[in-house]
A and B are shown apart, each in its own frame.
Chain A
Amino acid sequence: MKKTLVTLALAGGVALVASAAPQSFDFKDAKGVNNAVFKLDAPLEAINGSANGVSGMVEFDADKPATAKGKIVVTSKSLTVGNSMMQEHMHGEQWLDVAKHPEISFNVKELKNAKTEGNVTTATAVGTFSLKGVEKEISAPVKLTYLKGKLADRTMGQMKGDLLVIRSTFTIKRSEFNIQAGKNEDKVANEIELTLSIAGAAPQK
C-alpha cells in the first residue's frame, strides 16, 4: 500500500513537472498556412504582398506565457507580389538582394506588459529584427493563442499535441534596413506594415 502511494506520488510529480515545462513550438507549417503579409502605401502606388516561407521555434509555457521567447524566420525568396516584374525587382540586388540575404528574422528575447485571459496572451515582443543584413532592436504587439490538444484536429488525428497561434502587426522603415534609403518614396513607401499570422505545433513525445 505504502509502495503504491509513493509510486503514485512520484508519477504525479513527474506529470506535474512535465506539464509545467515549456514546450517547443515548431513554426514550419506543412500545410503552408503560415504567412507574413506586407503593405506599402506610397502616394503613387500601393504594394501588397505576402510570404509563406515561415519557420522557427518558440519556447512557450502555458503556465507562464509571459516567458515565451523564440525566433521566427521568413525566407526572403518567398516574398510574392501581384506583378512578376515588380517581384523580380524586389528580389534583386538593389532592393532585398535575396541571393545574399536569404532570410528575414525576428528573434524575440522577451515579452513585456503581458496580459493573459483564458488561452490568449497579449504582450509587447522585444527583440532583434534582421533584414538585408541589418539588425535592429524593435518592439511589436503580439497576441498568442494557446490551443491545447488541437494538433490532432489539424492532422486528422495523426499527431497529438498543442498549437500556438501568434499574430502581430507592426511597422518598419526600409530606410533603416539599407533598402534604397530615400529613393523612389513616391512609388515605394518608406514605411512597411508587416502582419504575421502563424501557427506552431508542439507534438506530444
Chain B
Amino acid sequence: MKRSLQILAVVLAVATLSVWLVKGANTGFTKNRVQVKTVDPITEIEQVEWQDKFLPGVDFLGGGLIAGGALFVGSLFIRKTNKQQQTQLS
C-alpha cells in the first residue's frame, strides 16, 4: 500500500510536468482557447481569431505537483505491513 502510493505520487508529478512541458510550458494561467492571428492582405490588419485548445498553465503544474507531493508525504504515515506478523496473527 505504502509503495503503491509512492509510485502513484511520482507518476502523478511526472505526468503533470510532462503534459505541461509538451503543451508549451505556459508560464501564465491555464487557458482553454488560444489566439490565432492572420494578416488581411489588403488592409494589413492582423485579424485575431480564437480557437479552442487546452493550454495548461502554472496553476495546472502547481496543482499536479502539490497533489503528488501530498500523496508521497501521506504515504510516509502508512505503516509497512509485515507479512510474517500477519501470518502469526492469523
Query: A83 to chain B: which residues have CB within 8 Å?
Result: 29-32
Q: Hey, which chain B residues are within 8 Å of A84, CB to CB?
A: 32-33
A19 located at the interface, meaning its Cβ lies under 8 Å from any Cβ of chain B in the complex: no
| Number of cross-chain contacts by CB at 8 Å | 55
Residue of B nearest to A44 (CB): B29
B-side binding surface: helix, strand, loop or mixed? strand
Which B residue sits closest to A35, measured CB to CB?
A: B48
Q: Are B55 and A147 in contact (CB under 8 A)?
A: no
A32 at the A/B interface (Cβ < 8 Å)?
Answer: yes
Nearest residue (CB) in B for A82 is B31
- B35 interface residue, CB < 8 Å from A? yes
B43 within 8 A of A: yes
| Residues from 18 to 37 in A contacting B, C-beta threshold 8 Å | 31-35, 37
Q: Which of A143-170 contact B (CB under 8 A)?
A: 147, 150, 153-154, 163, 165
Q: Please tell me the number of chain B residues within 8 Å of chain A, measured between CB atoms.
A: 18
What 0/1 readout, one digit per residue, does chain A (48-90) give for beta carbons within 8 Å of chain B? Answer: 1010100000000000000000000000000010111010000
Among B28, B30, B44, B45, which residue has its beta carbon within 8 angstroms of that of A34?
B45
Q: Would B45 and A46 count as touching, CB distance under 8 A?
A: no
Expressed in whole angstroms, the minimum distance between the Cβ of B25 and any Cβ of chain A is 15
CA distance A199 to B46 in the complex (A): 11
Chain B, Cβ-Cβ closest to A155: B42
Q: Are A165 and B28 in contact (CB under 8 A)?
A: no
A165 touching B43 in the complex, CB below 8 Å, given contacts A45-B28, A82-B31:
yes
| Other contacts beyond A35-B47, A48-B35, A50-B48: 17, CB < 8 A | A32-B47, A33-B43, A33-B47, A45-B29, A80-B33, A82-B32, A82-B35, A82-B50, A83-B30, A84-B32, A86-B29, A147-B43, A150-B43, A154-B42, A163-B42, A197-B45, A199-B43
